[in-house]
Amino acid sequence: MTGEHCSRAVPSDVASCNTTCFPELLGSEGKAVIATTSGCVNRIAVDARLYQLGANDGPTNAVADLKVIRLPLGNKGE
């Protein structure tokens, strides 16, 4: 099963959100913690993406593919 989880409502041409944070996040704030049940360990994938939209959710200015860091391992010091 797949789904798009959004930090706030965005135009449908950017993403079709299956769920949105409540309350919605504003500006540059936000983080996500992804968890699963024991039966799904090693069966979950996350593809995090950040969209920078123009004023009033105008044209997309930039898209960044974000790195997923597995806890408690941390990152590799990049």
Domain boundaries of the chain, sorted by first residue: 1-68
* 41 pLDDT higher than 80: no
pLDDT of residue 78: 56
Mean pLDDT on 41-58: 81
Indicate if the pLDDT at residue 6 is higher than 60.
yes
| Top-confidence residue, 61 or 69 | 61
Q: What do you get for the CA distance between the two ends of the chain, in Å? A: 31
Q: What is the mean pLDDT of residues 50-60?
A: 86
Q: Cis peptide leading into 23, omega within 30 of 0?
A: yes
User: Who contacts 62 (Cβ-Cβ below 8 Å, separation ≥6)?
Assistant: 51, 52
- Quick one: pLDDT at residue 77? 65
Residue 58 sits at the vertex; the CA angle it makes with 48 and 53, to the nearest 5 degrees, is: 25
User: At residue 49, does pLDDT exceed 80?
Assistant: yes
